[in-house]
């Protein structure tokens, strides 16, 4: 009995030493790494849609140092069959973020609200503002000083003010990397939202192909700025080589100025189709908000300028949307189109039995790789949202997903 009691005392002493000396490396503290001054941020956002509607403003607070993180330590001297997760004797639950929400109403296409720089709840007094989300707008790219941004972003940063006009998808380029800027001396935000909605031009989605229905997808191959997936159906010979260009870096890692797809892949291409047999292909995932223009070009005859335009379309450029070109750049590519009789693949929209529209490709005389561009005008016809695919008559030469 005395031995058993001594063992328990020993375990308790060891646990208490662990509790008193234990240090945990913070995984997600405030990105600025130093304290913010007292104060508040005043927001005035103009030209929002949905007059009379309500918007949720979400403010996230984080401590800038690990010792301020709220922690709940638990000591598990005796294990239990009902305990899930970690089997450690001592566990620590960290509360690294605190989120506060408020609802604002859009009046005369604008909203105004104020956000304190520090959490107001006493138990979170050491937590400071890390991010503000209003619909699609996210303020959360922190700088130590007012940043010097290129004019294409449409933003003007002074000591205490952020002003200008913002495009929702025009913030992905460095140094903003998808988030609107914040800095310690900023106190007033006055922004209008550009009325630009980029239409989606999607032709193929490997995530929509179900294994139980015969589809097989490879593990995504990561490369600087994106990833590639190989998709096939077990009953067919056609293989789809799908290239995704990241608009925002996974896990917050920086993206390269120019995405670099695998060797042999034309930069800017979203999809390569290896189509050795058959005279018809269906694109069940294709969807166009409006009718799309289609350009067909021989890959072997692409000019250096055409290749450069394709690469530019997937770059993250300040103030413009990824997967887009100006109307003038689209016209340059349009001038390269050969006479209509030379096009070896034709596309049309047909109605399914359920009344939905389905994009179908019909093969004529495909003897070499051809590039097809699908584009929809937007931004008052100043830009084209686009997707580029290459159709190859040869079979796929790489490994197949099982």
Kindly state whether residue 6 falls inside one of the protein's structural domains.
no
Structural domain total, the chain: 2
Kindly state whether residue 399 falls inside one of the protein's structural domains.
no
Q: Please, is 185 exposed, middle or buried when counting C-beta atoms within 10 Å of its C-beta (0-12, 13-18, 19+)?
A: middle
Beta bridge partners of 95: 70
The reply to whether 132 and 212 lie within a common domain is no
Q: What is the pLDDT of residue 245?
A: 95
Kindly state whether residue 215 falls inside one of the protein's structural domains.
yes
Domain end (from 146, 173, 193): 193
Kindly state whether residue 357 falls inside one of the protein's structural domains.
yes
The reply to whether 216 and 350 lie within a common domain is yes
Per-residue pLDDT of the chain (402 residues; tens, 9 = 90+): 444 554 544 444 444 434 433 444 445 899 999 999 999 999 999 998 766 788 899 999 999 999 999 887 666 555 555 555 555 666 667 889 999 999 998 888 899 999 999 999 999 999 999 999 998 899 999 999 999 999 999 999 999 999 999 998 999 898 998 899 999 999 999 999 998 999 999 899 999 999 999 999 999 999 999 999 999 999 999 999 999 999 877 766 678 888 999 999 999 999 999 999 999 999 988 888 889 999 999 999 999 999 999 999 999 999 999 999 999 999 999 999 987 667 899 999 988 777 788 999 999 989 999 999 999 999 999 999 999 999 999 999 999 998
Kindly state whether residue 3 falls inside one of the protein's structural domains.
no
The reply to whether 111 and 248 lie within a common domain is no
Distance, CA of 372 to CA of 346 (rounded, Å): 10
Q: What is the pLDDT of residue 13?
A: 45
The reply to whether 253 and 149 lie within a common domain is no
Q: What is the pLDDT of residue 79?
A: 59
Q: What is the pLDDT of residue 53?
A: 84
The reply to whether 317 and 383 lie within a common domain is yes
CA atoms within 13 A on the CB side of 3: 0
Distance, CA of 270 to CA of 291 (rounded, Å): 19
CA of 201: how far to CAs of 167, 223, 285, 293, in Å? 19, 23, 10, 11
Kindly state whether residue 16 falls inside one of the protein's structural domains.
no
pLDDT single digits (tens) 224-277: 999 999 999 999 999 999 999 998 777 666 788 889 999 999 999 999 999 999
Tokens linked to 24: 């945990």
Name every residue whose Cβ is closer than 8 Å to that of residue 352 and which is 6 or more positions away in sequence: 358
Q: What is the pLDDT of residue 83?
A: 52
The reply to whether 280 and 210 lie within a common domain is yes
The reply to whether 188 and 279 lie within a common domain is no
Domain end (from 193, 220, 250): 193
The reply to whether 248 and 160 lie within a common domain is no
The reply to whether 118 and 207 lie within a common domain is no
Q: What is the pLDDT of residue 77?
A: 57
Phi, psi of 71 (to 5 degrees): -130, 145
The reply to whether 220 and 349 lie within a common domain is yes
DSSP per residue over 222-246, as a string? EETTEEEEEEEETT-S-EEEEEEE-
Q: What is the pLDDT of residue 92?
A: 67
The reply to whether 227 and 296 lie within a common domain is yes
* Domain range enclosing 161: 27-193
The reply to whether 243 and 170 lie within a common domain is no
Q: What is the pLDDT of residue 93?
A: 79
Q: What is the pLDDT of residue 356?
A: 82
Domain end (from 166, 193, 220): 193
Name every residue whose Cβ is closer than 8 Å to that of residue 92 and which is 6 or more positions away in sequence: 22, 24, 71, 72, 73, 74
Kindly state whether residue 269 falls inside one of the protein's structural domains.
yes
């Amino acid at each position: 009995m005395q031995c058993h009691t001594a063992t328990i005392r020993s375990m308790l002493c060891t646990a208490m030493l662990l509790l008193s000396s234990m240090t945990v490396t913070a995984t997600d503290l405030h990105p600025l790494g130093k304290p913010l001054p007292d104060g508040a941020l005043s927001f005035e956002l103009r030209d929002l849609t949905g007059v009379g509607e309500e918007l949720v403003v979400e403010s996230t607070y984080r401590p800038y140092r690990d010792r301020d993180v709220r922690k709940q330590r638990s000591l598990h001297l005796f294990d239990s069959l009902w305990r899930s997760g970690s089997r450690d004797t001592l566990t620590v639950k960290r509360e690294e973020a605190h989120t506060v929400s408020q609802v604002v109403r859009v009046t005369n296409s604008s909203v105004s609200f104020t956000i304190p720089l520090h959490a107001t709840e006493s138990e979170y007094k050491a937590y400071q503002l890390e991010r503000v989300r209003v619909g699609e707008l996210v303020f959360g790219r922190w700088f130590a000083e007012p940043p010097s941004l290129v004019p294409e972003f449409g933003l003007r940063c002074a000591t205490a003010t952020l002003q200008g006009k913002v495009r929702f998808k025009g913030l992905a380029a460095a140094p903003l990397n998808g988030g609107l800027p914040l800095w310690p001396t900023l106190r007033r935000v006055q922004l209008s939202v550009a009325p630009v909605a980029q239409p989606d031009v999607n032709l193929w989605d490997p995530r929509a192909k179900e294994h139980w229905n015969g589809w097989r997808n490879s593990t995504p191959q990561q490369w600087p700025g994106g990833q590639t997936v190989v998709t096939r159906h077990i009953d067919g010979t056609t293989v789809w080589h799908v290239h995704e260009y990241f608009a925002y870096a996974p896990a917050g890692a920086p993206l390269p100025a120019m995405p670099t797809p695998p060797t042999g892949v034309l930069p800017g291409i979203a999809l390569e189709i290896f189509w050795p047999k058959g005279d018809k292909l269906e694109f069940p995932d294709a969807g166009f908000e409006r009718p799309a223009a289609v350009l067909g070009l021989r890959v072997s005859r692409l000019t250096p300028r055409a290749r450069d335009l394709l690469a530019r379309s997937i770059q993250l450029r300040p103030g413009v949307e990824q997967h887009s070109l100006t109307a003038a750049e689209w016209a340059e590519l349009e001038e390269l189109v050969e006479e209509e009789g030379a096009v070896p693949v034709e596309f049309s929209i047909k109605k399914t039995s359920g009344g939905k529209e389905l994009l179908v490709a019909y093969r004529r005389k495909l003897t070499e790789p051809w590039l097809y561009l699908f584009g929809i005008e937007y931004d008052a016809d100043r830009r084209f949202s686009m997707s580029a695919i290459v159709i190859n008559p040869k079979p796929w030469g790489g490994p197949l997903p099982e």
